[in-house]
Structure 1
C-alpha cells in the first residue's frame, strides 16, 4: 500500500525525469499493431499515416489513458479543457512519431532485446531515469539502491497501479533505446567530403577589410521596369513548390460583450446597503454569515495591519470588535468589512512535521498516533521524519520547514502552528494527509486582526444577458450578407476584428478564448458565409468567412505581386550591373563610381567567409562571399544581393592559421545537431499524413 501511495505522490517527478532524458514521449503508444486497412477510408478514421489507419476509438483511448495518468500524478479529479487539448496534441505527435519510426526500425532490423532492457534497469548501465527516480532510492540514505528496483519488479504484478507505471517506464526506455540506435546509425553514416573541408579551411584562412558601393533597387523607379503577364505566369509555373501552403481560413468578426449595466451596478449597491444592519448585528456569527451570503468566502486568517489596504488598515487599528466598515467599492465589488477579533499571535513560526499519507484517513491517524507515542517516549523526531514522512522536501531535513509567516500554510496547519505554544507536538489533518507538528520556535507576539468581508460582485443580470443575446442574434439574422455585415458595422459604430491564418486544429481565433466552435464553423462553411451568433464566455461573436485557403499551391492571383516584385528586382539588378560595368570600364576608382551613381563608399573590416552580416549593408551573404574571394586592390565585378547590387575593393587581407581539428569538430557537431533536431521533422515532411481530427474535436 505504501508503494502505491508513493507512486501517486511521486508520479509527477517521474514524468519530469523522463522529459529530461527521453527524446520523445512515447507513453502507452502501442500503435504498431493498429493495421493499415481495417479502418481505411471509414468514418471512424481520425488519421492515416503512410497508409496506417488510426480510428477515433483507438486515438481517444490513448488520450484517455494520458488524461487518467496525469490526474493520478497530480492528485486531481479533473483536467481543464486546455489541459485536455494539450494532452491530445501530445498524443497526436507521439502517434505520428511512433508509426514513422516503426517503419524505419522494421526496414533496418532495429529492435531492443529484453537483455538490453534489464541492463538499463538492474544491470551495469542503469538508465538515469531509473537511477534518479525516488521510488528506487534507499529510505535511509536517499541514494539509488538497485535492490529497491528488484523489490519493485517482484511485487508489480500483484499491484495494478505499480504494473501500470512499470509498463509506462518500460515502454519509454525501449523507445528511447531504439531511437538512439536509429539516430546513431545515421550519424555514423555522415561523411564530410574533402571539398567541403578544404572550402571551410580556405574560407577561414583570412579576414578582409574592404570598401563597397551599393546601388539599391529603390534607385530605379518601378515604372521604368516592365514585367509582363507571361513572365509572371512562367515564373509561377517553374516555381510552384515555392508557393505551397497549408489549409487556412480568414474571418472578420464583431463582438457583443455582456457586461454589467448601470442598473446592475445599482442592484449590487442596493443589496450591500440592505445587508448592513444584519451584518452589524451584535450576536452575528460573521464567518457563517459570510460563507452563506458573500461572493467571497471567509478566510479566517489573522492579518497584520500593514498587510491590509490603507482603507482597512485605518479601520482595524481604530475599531472595536464587531464594528463594520462600509459599504465601499473595491475591485468591482461592493463590500462591508467587520472586525471579528484582535489576537496577539506570533508574527512567524519555525516548525517541523511528519506527513502521513495512508490509504484512508483512519489508517493515517493510526500511524500518526503510534509515532506520537514514540516521540513522547523519547524517540528522535528528526529520525522518525526521515523514515516515515511522505513529504520529500522536508523529510531529508528531519521534517524541518524553517520559518514561515501566517497564511503560507493551509489553514488547519496554520492554526495549529500559530495558536499553539513553543515545544508543542500536535496532530492535525489537512487535504494532504495527517501531520505531526512540532512547534520549535515562535516569533514575538504582535496584534493581528481577523476580519470578515461581505462582498457583492457587480455582475450582469439575466436581463442584461438577454438584451445582449437578442442584439447579437438579431444582428446575425438581419445582416446575412457581407455587404449588409459591413454596412451595419459602420452604422452601429462597431469595431471589426480579424482572425487570420486560422489552422484546422487551432483552439482559438485571435483574442477570442475557447473559440474552437468558430474554427469548426470556418472549416465547414463556404467562402463568403455569415455565421450565427456564437456565445464565447462573456460575449457573443458574429463572423464573416472572407478567405478559404486550401492545402496545396497558392493560386497565382495570391502570389502575383510577390512574383512581380522579384522579377522587377531581377531586371533592376541587370540594369544596375550594366551601370557598374560601364563605370569600371572607364577606369574610375571607388569614390568616382559612387559619385557617378549618387552613392557613397562604405567600409567594412575583419570580414570572413563565415560572417553573418556586413556593417552598413545588413544580412548580405552574396556581399560577404564576394569580399572574401576578391583579389587585393582590384574593383570586383558587380554582384546582386538582397537589397541591391554591390562592387567591392579589398584593401587588406589578414592571413590566419585555422585549426583543422576544430573545423572538423564543428562540422561534425553541426551534422549531429541536424540529425537530432531535423530527423523526425524531415520524416514528417516526407510522410503522407491525413489529419481528420476536425471531424471529432
Structure 2
C-alpha cells in the first residue's frame, strides 16, 4: 500500500515513543482473566502489585514491538543491542500498564472511541498522525489521506497492524495525560508562593566567610556509641534500601591467533596475488567476492593514501599490484585500477522526488528551460536544500551517495541529469566544477589474521584443564597466583545488567550468578574470543543493607555532627560583634570571599557544594556576621558585604512554579512505580 510506505518513512526506523513515559500498551482482558494454563510458577516472569504475569503474556508485548520494528525498518533481523532495547521497552510498557490501569479504573478514567476519532481526523489531531499524514506539496496535514488510509487498511494486514499499534499508543498517552491533569489541578500556585519565590531570588550577594573544617578535630577525640549508631540506622532505615546484587571473580582465557595462523593468512594472500594481478581479472569484482573489507568505489588524491600506497601509485602502471604488506593484524594486496584527471569538488543543485512519474515530468520541465530553483522550492522532498532552490553548494568527491557522486563528477558543467539512489530520484544541475587534479582508483584485497579452529580448541583445552583442577575457591586463588594469571572482578551485578564488567554478551554469567550459591564455580562460558571461568563470591539480597555494612558510614555522619556542635559552640563563644577578621584570628582560620551568589547558586568558590552556606549568605543582612551554620565539610560563618537587589517579577515566578508543578505531575508515574511491589523474574528467561 503506497500510503503505508509514505507514513512508514515519516515514522523513522526506531520504535515510536510518544511523550515522556507515556507510550504503553493496554494489558486488557489478557491480564485480568482468571485461571490460565500459563499461571504455573515456572512460567511466571513477574508479579506486579499482586498481579502475576506469565512469560507468554510478556512475550505478547515483546512480539508486538518486534513486529512493529521490523515493519517500520523493513528488516527481518535485529542486532543484539536492538533486541535488548525492545525487551526493555516491552517490560516497561507492561509494568506501566499493570500499575496505571489500577489507577485509571479507580478514578474512572477512560478514553472513548469518539476521542480516538478526534485525534485521528477531528479538530485535535495527534502530532504523530499529523506528521505521518502531511501533504509534501503543501506542508499541511491532509485529513483525506487519513480517511483513505483507514478505508483501505483492512485489505493490508501490515497497514492494519500499523494502525492498531499507533492507536494503542495515542490512547494510552491520552489516559496518562488525563491522570496527570488531575494531579496538576491540585498543585495550584498561589500568589503568596510566587512572591516568596521571587523574593528569594532577587538578592545577589558578595560576602566574606570563614570555615572551620571537621578534619581539624581528630576522630579519636569523638566517641560514637553502638547504641547511637543503631538508633540512627533504625530511624533512617529507608535510606539503606538495596537491590539484589552479586559479586564474582573470574579468570579469562583469550583466544588469539597463533604464529601458525599468521603464517597461514600470509600464505593465502600470497597465493591470491597471481589471480589478482591477472590483467583479465576484474579487480573490483574480485575484491568484492574475496576481501574481508568492503570495497569503497572512489578516486583518491595521493595525499589521502597511506605513505606506502603513495610511493606505490606514484610510480606504478595501471594494473600493477603492491604487496603483500601488513597493516595491523591484516595482510593486504593493492592494485592500481585507474588514474584520472577529475575535479576535487563540484557545485550542484538538485530536486529529490520519491514518485518516479512526478520526477519524469519535472525533469522534462527543467530540461526545457523552466526555473530550476522555483521548481526545487515547490517540489523537492529534500527540505534542507529545497528552501535554497535545491542548492547544495560545493562538495568533495565521496561526500554524496555513489550514483549522485558519479553523475556530478563524470558530467559536464551545465548538464541536467537524472539518477536514482536509495533516497529516490534526483534531478541534478551541475553548476560548476573545480580544477582537475590527478586521482587514483585502487582496489585492496585484505585478509585479517584470525585464529583457527585448532587454536580455539587448544585454548579451550587450557580452560577445561584449569576448571577440572580448581573446583574450589581456595584452589582457584592458588592456581591464579602460581600460574601468574590475572584475576578479574564483577562487582555489584544486578539482575537487569547486560554484561559482567566489559565482557560483551556475558548475560549468561549473570543468570548463573543469581542461581548459584556462595563459592560455586561456573561452567566454562564462551564470550566472544575468550573462555571464562568464575566463582560466586558475594550475595546481597533485595531489602535493606545490614547495620554492619553501613556502620562506618553512619559513625562518620554522627561524628561530624558532634564535631559541628563543638565547632559551633566554640565559634559562638569567640564571636566579637560584627568583626569577622577577629573571629578568624581567634579560631585560626582565614577569611575568604565570594561574589555574585544567589539563592539558586549551586556552589561557592573556595567552599564547594554547600547549600547551607548559600542559604545563610542570601538571607543574612548586609554588614552583619551570621550565626555559625553546619555544612557538608565544616562550619561556616558569613559576613555579607554587598547586596544587589534585582527587579522581581511575581508573574514570571508564578509561571515558572506552575511549569515545575506541571512537570512534577508528569513525574507521578515514577513515584507510583517506585512504590509498587515489583518482583522481576526476567533473569530466568532472558
Please classify the TM superposition score into its range, dividing by the shorter chain length.
Answer: 0.7 to 0.9
Does residue 1:65 correspond to 2:54, yes or no? no
TM-score by length of 2: 0.86
Aligned to 1:504: 495
| Alpha-carbon distance in structure 2 between the residues aligned to 1:41 and 1:179 | 32
Alignment counterpart, residue 686 of structure 1, candidates 665, 675, 678 = 675
Structure 1 residue 508, shift from structure 2 partner: 1.1
> What are the within-5 Å matches in structure 2 for residues 540-689 of structure 1?
540-584=531-575, 590-604=580-594, 607=597, 609-630=599-620, 636-649=626-639, 658-676=648-666, 678-689=667-678
Structure 1 residue 681, shift from structure 2 partner: 0.8
SS at match of 1:511: coil
Aligned to 2:116: 117
Q: Deviations over 1:162-217 (max 9, x none)?
A: 22222223222222222222211211111457875675466456565554432221
Aligned to 2:518: 527
Q: 1:453 to 1:229 in 2, by over 3 A?
A: same
| Alpha-carbon distance in structure 1 between the residues aligned to 2:404 and 2:623 | 82
Aligned to 1:487: 478
Structure 1 residue 646, shift from structure 2 partner: 3.2
Decide whether the 8 Å contact of 1:623 with 1:646 is kept in 2.
Answer: yes
Decide whether the 8 Å contact of 1:261 with 1:464 is kept in 2.
Answer: yes
| Alpha-carbon distance in structure 2 between the residues aligned to 1:387 and 1:582 | 81
| Alpha-carbon distance in structure 1 between the residues aligned to 2:197 and 2:299 | 70
Structure 1 residue 103, shift from structure 2 partner: 1.8
Aligned to 2:73: 74
Structure 1 residue 79, shift from structure 2 partner: 0.7
Aligned to 1:360: none
| Alpha-carbon distance in structure 1 between the residues aligned to 2:595 and 2:241 | 40
Aligned to 1:181: 178
Aligned to 1:361: none
Structure 1 residue 74, shift from structure 2 partner: 1.7
Aligned length: 681
| Alpha-carbon distance in structure 1 between the residues aligned to 2:135 and 2:654 | 45
Structure 1 residue 243, shift from structure 2 partner: 0.7
Structure 1 residue 455, shift from structure 2 partner: 1.7
Q: 1:289 to 1:213 in 2, by over 3 A?
A: closer
> What are the within-5 Å matches in structure 2 for residues 179-258 of structure 1?
179-192=176-189, 200=197, 203-204=200-201, 210-258=207-255
| Alpha-carbon distance in structure 1 between the residues aligned to 2:6 and 2:635 | 69
Alignment counterpart, residue 469 of structure 2, candidates 478, 488, 513 = 478
Q: Deviations over 1:40-71 (max 9, x none)?
A: 56322222222233221121122122122112
Q: Deviations over 1:65-95 (max 9, x none)?
A: 2122112222222110110110111111122
Aligned to 1:56: 55
> What are the within-5 Å matches in structure 2 for residues 442-453 of structure 1?
443=433, 447-453=438-444
Unaligned runs of 5+ residues in structure 1 are 358-363
Q: Deviations over 1:593-614 (max 9, x none)?
A: 4333322233445655554444
Decide whether the 8 Å contact of 2:206 with 2:641 is kept in 1.
Answer: yes
| Alpha-carbon distance in structure 2 between the residues aligned to 1:355 and 1:223 | 79
SS at match of 1:34: helix
Decide whether the 8 Å contact of 1:290 with 1:453 is kept in 2.
Answer: yes
> What are the within-5 Å matches in structure 2 for residues 42-191 of structure 1?
42-133=41-132, 136-138=133-135, 140-191=137-188
TM-score by length of 1: 0.85
| Alpha-carbon distance in structure 2 between the residues aligned to 1:354 and 1:209 | 60
Q: Deviations over 1:448-476 (max 9, x none)?
A: 43323222211222222222222222223
| Alpha-carbon distance in structure 2 between the residues aligned to 1:77 and 1:319 | 46
Structure 1 residue 386, shift from structure 2 partner: 10
SS at match of 1:43: helix
Decide whether the 8 Å contact of 2:23 with 2:93 is kept in 1.
Answer: yes
Structure 1 residue 376, shift from structure 2 partner: 12
| Alpha-carbon distance in structure 2 between the residues aligned to 1:433 and 1:194 | 55
